[in-house]
Structure 1
């Protein structure tokens, strides 16, 4: 427990205050625990009526659990309301009507009030997890103690309660987390790219972009904003930050054998530019980058059968991510797509990859959105399940081709998450071998 948390406890700043946490997930429970430690009266609310007090874990018997549709009464006495990632304020408008905006914060914002170490935060539509993990591995190789979390792994509230102090806080941050941030201020902020995504959550692309730019709103001239050169036209003249702004793009500065494609050359350069602000040398970064292993479900080679390469890119939930994956190969690509649609221009995507893709195998949901525009450019088939789609492509594929799972969608039509979808692809591909 750090000095600032202890100070809050000693001065009874939140003692006896009502803290309401929305969402019984990992981040929500971590925020509830921190509120409890700070002396607040904790109420956790969740729409899932099947939850019992067991869901509160260590807070069972300590915190109040309210399930079912959100109601004004759940929030009327709140001094602070902490939203878990993925809980959109707009869907709670009626329940939160009349609550001052200053009382509503994200778990990331709440935890950031207590952080002492400098923060390096990474956002963007695609590539966040790879870049965040790479940055952490570079720090580890350079002998610097880093905490890695936020939108991946460990919530920031949990770090405050349970972990040894770090020299650098490395955070992957999503638009969901940033939308309700007002004071969050990293030492270095990285914006990797921006494309259509989460339009099932955000009301518009402008709202989505504004959420991303919250990352830089509180930064000063002593901080650094690292922005991909593709963002110049979109945000270059918006006056969104007082930070020192630098632009980056793909380079061949480092040997990165396990990070193929131009998009990864940008991610690697972003990682280097970020860690260099914390005393890491180029030689230290180079060795870590050279030895970096790709994360699961991100352009991950699964098998090669009869000269056909099977690649799992289940994490690609946007058209921009799929575009980057397709361009990573110098082989003809048989592309597997399908799932719950999140937005984007399918016709423009098809035009961009027409020289690389030779067949599109659709599966599951979003056939009505994808099939029309794609069939104008490619041969397109549809199967109800991913397994059937993989087996169809395997039967038709020829030596030197790639069967690439890069769905451009979330997985919730048939799977609990993208990892489960990727594992299913691996199972089928490995069985072919």
Structure 2
């Protein structure tokens, strides 16, 4: 960890706890800041706040006092989930108090270079692939961000021999000032999180922050399948490395004659790759680019791509039962993600879908349901999805109470060679605390079948 004095004797407010808030508060305290933590959860129900108080950090719990900023704070470190419409954040901005996220702290203290990954879909898979490739290539990677450990905790332990591979959300990227990854990746850009950002334009602007501080000696890996990402290449100072599944790129990463190429060099025969789906090929190409830029050999890349079956809950292969293949894609919490999952298979599909009703319909899925032989729905949206299935001409339509009920029914409707796919197209919060719990219930139900 770098020894820095930037925060010594500065009054800093950490707004919102959870893992990132706790880590930020402890780090700032260690760096000599005068830290106050403010969290909505009452102190008696807040073990994180209790542990911070024991270390001498000031804690205010149960509310966000309206006059809190009158204490003269010089910096606010906010939890990424707290929107900028929060009155304390608006107040801080009006007072010209800098507002950052914990990722910025991690960058300030880190001795290691960062490889930052953002985008609408594919971030976790790409982050994990890069980490595995660098690990296989003996490049001493550490993994951080939305996947793995909180960034500042990782940065404290990192040395100049390490590479920090970090998944970054738009929420986190809005709160950076100096953060500068040596390699940045934008996997793709679609409309998302408009309840937080307000407009698509603001969402994209947040994503652009990943390269705003990059220089010519840094690299920006962009998805050239998308015209919007191509345009970003005109804005950055970094060296652009494009990737595409649709055209061969002499300078970049692409597929030609059944091989993945990097800057004209054959890396691996694509048929050897075990991770399914066109959208996963995009993730693979981005990962190959980052690995090659870091000096990983083709042999190490091939070792990973011939054994990596996916990240848990993200088109995760679960089991083959008498020729029926079960896949857990519980992370598909929106229609776009389910569309991508459906295009990953040519086999007949028994689709399990449903969840939180956000008021939208599902007719966008109809063009992607050609391979769906049966649709099993659950949750608040089960009737809406049945209606979509009727419009798509699916004859086998079933509504059940939950995922656990859906699994044995799906198996009974399947034949050898079919795929049973959990890809809900909805958030989980109507029935499950998060998509991970939903996915784990699916996995457990699959393992109970035989």
TM-score by length of 2: 0.86
1:89 aligns with 2:84: yes
Contact 2:222 2:229 in 1 (8 A): no
**Aligned counterpart in structure 2 of residue 27 of structure 1, from 20, 27, 39:** 20
Which residue in the other structure is 1:178 paired with?
Answer: 173
SS for the counterpart of 1:89 is: coil
Corresponding residue to 1:187 among 177, 182, 191: 182
Indicate the residue corresponding to 2:4 in structure 1. 7
Q: Determine helix, strand or coil for the equivalent of 1:423.
A: helix
Distance in 1 separating the partners of 2:84 and 2:366: 34
Tell me the equivalent position of 1:203: 198
Decide whether aligned partners of structure 1 residues 345 and 115 sit closer, same or farther in structure 2, where only a CA change above 3 A counts: farther
Structure 2 CA distance for aligned equivalents of residues 101 and 344 of structure 1: 39
176-185 vs 379-388, which moves further: 379-388
* Structure 1 residues 262-294: Cα deviation after superposition (integer angstroms, max 9, x where no partner): 222221111111121122222332223223343
Deviation readout 1:304-337 (Å, 9 max, x if unpaired): 3443322111122232322222222221112112
For residues 305-384 of structure 1, the aligned pairs below 5 Å read 305-340=321-356, 346-351=362-367, 353-367=368-382, 370-379=385-394, 380-384=397-401
CA deviation after TM superposition for structure 1 residue 116, in Å:
3.1
Tell me the CA shift for residue 25 of structure 1.
Answer: 0.8
Deviation of residue 126 (structure 1)?
1.6
User: Quick check: 1:271 aligned with 2:287?
Assistant: yes
Shift of 1:408: 2.2
Q: Distance in 1 between matches of 2:183 and 2:197?
A: 26
CA distances 1:205-241 after superposition (whole Å, capped 9, x unpaired)? 2222111111111212221111112322466168542
Deviations 1:185-221 (A, max 9, x none): 1111111112233234332222221111111112122
| 3-state SS, counterpart of residue 170 of structure 1 | strand
Counterpart of 2:251? none
C-alpha separation in 1, matches of 2:9 and 2:34: 6
**Which of residues 54, 61, 78 is equivalent to 1:67?**
61
Alpha-carbon distance, 1:395 to partner: 3.3
Query: 2:133 pairs with 130, 138, 141, which one?
Result: 138
Runs of 5+ in structure 1 lacking a partner?
none
Pair 1:290 & 2:309 matched: no
Counting matched residue pairs gives 425
By how many angstroms is 1:149 displaced? 0.4
How far has the Cα of 1:367 moved from its partner? 4.2
Shift of 1:375: 3.7
Aligned residue among 123, 126, 137 for 1:128: 123
- Residue 167 and residue 74 in structure 1: after superposition, are their counterparts in 2 closer, same or farther (change >3 A)? same
Change in 2 beyond 3 A, CA 1:194/1:345: farther
Mapped contact 2:352–2:424 kept (Cα < 8 A): yes
The equivalent of 1:409 in structure 2 is 426
1:88-120 CA deviation, whole Å, 9 max, x = no partner?
Answer: 112346763654455100111222122232211
Contact 1:197-1:342 within 8 A present in 2 as well: no
In the TM superposition, what is the alpha-carbon distance from 1:125 to its structure 2 partner? 1.5
Change (3 A) 1:79 1:371: farther
The corresponding residue for 1:17 is: 10
Tell me by how many angstroms 1:360 deviates. Answer: 2.6
- For 2:264, the equivalent position in structure 1 comes to none
Aligned partner of 2:216 in structure 1 is 221
- 147, 155, 167: which is aligned to 1:152? 147
- Corresponding residue for 1:395? 412
Contact 1:224 1:246 in 2 (8 A): yes
Q: Report deviation, 1:376.
A: 1.9
Q: CA RMSD in A?
A: 2.6
CA 1:244–1:192: 2 relative to 1, 3 Å: same
Q: Tell me, which stretches of 5 or more residues in structure 2 are unaligned?
A: 246-254, 261-267
Q: Which moved more, 1:337-346 or 1:321-330?
A: 337-346
Kept in 1, the 8 Å contact 2:189–2:229? The answer is no
Question: Residue 60 of structure 1 aligns to a residue in which SS?
Answer: helix
* Bigger mean CA offset, 339-348 vs 361-370: 339-348
**Contact 1:15-1:40 at 8 Å conserved across structures:** yes
Flag the 1:202–1:165 CA change in 2: closer, same or farther, 3 A: same
